Structure 1
Amino acid sequence: MSEPRSSEVSGDHPHTLVVIPTFNERDNLRPIVRRLNDALPRAHVLVVDDNSPDGTGELADRLAEDARVHVLHRTGKAGLGAAYVAGFDWALRRGYQAIVEMDADGSHSPEQLPALLETLFRGDVGAVLGSRYVPGGRVVNWPWYRSLLSRGGNVYSKWALGVAVNDLTGGFRAYRSEVLREVDLHTVASQGYCFQVDLAVRVLDTGRSVVEVPITFVERENGQSKMNGAIVREALLRVTGWGARRWGTRLRAVLGSSGVFRR
């Protein structure tokens, strides 16, 4: 893994870093970075590229001529979760206060990011999720089966884990840096989209709140979705296992407090 090919963050740098993982997103990267720069002129962007064969990494290096853009090259495709952990590590070492994750494909609107950041530093908020499944949120241009899979997965995850979050699998989020330091990122084993579920639950377990802000999610126009059957199976198995452990812990606590386990 190489160091970013751009200037180091200076002492008067903006406090927000947007982490964008990429694999074969050459057609999408320049437009999304431009929109980010327009929406948040003082924020920085970190492109985490997994050695894309289509030249995404090389394009990112050219975009890094702008001091607000940084690039982290990885040697191969190791999964979404690993890419985000690498990007979060990079951000934490450089003192950013707000760390954002979003896709490169245009499905997440940079213009909606200020609304997430405005909520992040209120009270005990640890993370703000751009949510498709709260009032005001919506999905545009998805086929019915993709919508059914997403909604069903989120309903199941919410029930299995016993948490009050409607969109656990979404990837448009903002975190406080101190919260990411608390959750021990390097023990997050999830590589697919259940990385999002895992991290949201870990934030809740720190005692901080997770707030959902409605967003409009738009299906990508260029390139191919990374969703596949293996990712769905991983999410189902992991969420079921996590849920069983969480409900087991709660049941033991209830039985213990009621005296069932007392002699």
Structure 2
Amino acid sequence: MNASIPDAVAPATALVIVPTYDEIDNLSSIVARVHAAVPTAHVLVVDDGSPDGTGDLAERMAASDDRVHVLHRTGKLGLGSAYVTGFRWGLERGYEVLVEMDADGSHPPEALPTMIDRVLAGGPGAPALVIGSRWVPGGSVVDWPVSRQVLSRGGNLYARLALGLRIKDVTAGFRVYRRAALAAMDLTSIDSKGYCFQVDMTLRTLDGGGSVEEHPIEFRERELGESKMSRAIVVEAMGRVTVWAVQRRLGSLIGRRPGPDWVVED
């Protein structure tokens, strides 16, 4: 792995982690929107060897803006792996808030100030994780075909019923984590690669005693580039959720249900 990153970074509270693979048409725009919304935020681009030159573009951006950093990986290693790499990088450098965000513009950076403020609020009511949610009141999707909406709603419903959760958008990938919640996890044990990574991280947050809030967002389908959704990603998510549900029910039966309170109200 090649990292064009200094050992120390300028003081900043929030690190926005943006995994990329062939996102050259979208990267400049999404970074500009992040900095318009949260000028002090740092952005970490985790590029999986994009053949379209996304990694080179990220390097040029980093050379002209010390709020932008780049990690180069040798191949397409997966979304979950990219975020874990970013989490570890951010924890080592002391960021208080770590953000998951897609590069394609589907997640609105304009929601970040509110989401970050909630995580940083402090006190017993402050969430460890805020999810940018499509499926709570006030949330919406734009330019999605009915088939994608049915797939997303159906997948979330299955995860909620199987795992006993009340979170409406547990598969959502726009997230703000408090540092302490991630620092308490064994990140090396995470091997979820697709959308089930989001379910996995939600469960780990709840099992660690953290609370989860959902903040309504307008989710927009990408305008440029190709979607990374595939049948294999859906199959992996359904299979892993089923396994986790069985494990939790067996654990409950023998008195080893994980976490102090892993069912959270909206």
TM-score band (shorter)?
A: over 0.9
State the AA in 1 paired with 2:153.
R
Match of 1:231 among 227, 230, 233: 233
Identity of aligned residues (%): 55
Distance 1:201 1:72 in 2: 27
Number of the residue aligned with 2:264: none
Distance 2:128 2:253 in 1: 27
Contact 1:5 1:61 in 2 (8 A): no
Contact 1:46 1:87 in 2 (8 A): yes
Alignment of 1:120 onto 2:119: yes
Q: What displacement does 1:5 show?
A: 4.2
Distance 2:7 2:68 in 1: 9
State the AA in 1 paired with 2:221.
E
Q: What displacement does 1:181 show?
A: 1.1
Tell me the C-alpha RMSD between the 2 structures. 1.3
Distance 1:227 1:215 in 2: 20
- 1:61-140 pair list within 5 angstroms: 61-64=59-62, 65-122=64-121, 123=124, 124-140=126-142
1:68-109 C-alpha deviation (Å, 9 max, x unpaired): 000011111111000001111110010000000100000001
Structure 1: unaligned runs, 5 residues or longer? 255-263
Number of the residue aligned with 1:56: 54
Distance 1:7 1:161 in 2: 41
Number of the residue aligned with 1:27: 25
Structure 2: unaligned runs, 5 residues or longer? 257-266
Change (3 A) 1:251 1:85: same
Number of the residue aligned with 1:165: 167
State the AA in 1 paired with 2:3.
E
Distance 2:178 2:31 in 1: 22
- 1:127-206 pair list within 5 angstroms: 127-206=129-208
Contact 1:6 1:71 in 2 (8 A): no
Q: What displacement does 1:52 show?
A: 0.1
How many residue pairs match? The answer is 252
Distance 2:55 2:8 in 1: 19
1:36-90 C-alpha deviation (Å, 9 max, x unpaired): 1111101100000000000000000001020000001111111100000111111
Distance 2:4 2:136 in 1: 37
TM-score, with normalisation over the residues of structure 2?
A: 0.92
Distance 1:250 1:132 in 2: 31
Distance 1:195 1:164 in 2: 18
Number of the residue aligned with 1:208: 210
Number of the residue aligned with 1:3: 3
> Partner of 1:45: helix, strand, or coil?
strand
State the AA in 2 paired with 1:72.
L
Distance 1:104 1:169 in 2: 17
Distance 1:94 1:105 in 2: 26
State the AA in 2 paired with 1:176.
R
State the AA in 2 paired with 1:244.
V
> Partner of 2:240: helix, strand, or coil?
helix
Question: Of the two, which has the highest radius of gyration?
Answer: 1
Distance 1:106 1:6 in 2: 28
> Partner of 2:219: helix, strand, or coil?
strand
Contact 1:103 1:171 in 2 (8 A): yes
1:99-150 C-alpha deviation (Å, 9 max, x unpaired): 0010000000111111111111333421110011111011111000000000
Number of the residue aligned with 2:223: 221
Distance 1:182 1:164 in 2: 23
TM-score, with normalisation over the residues of structure 1?
A: 0.93
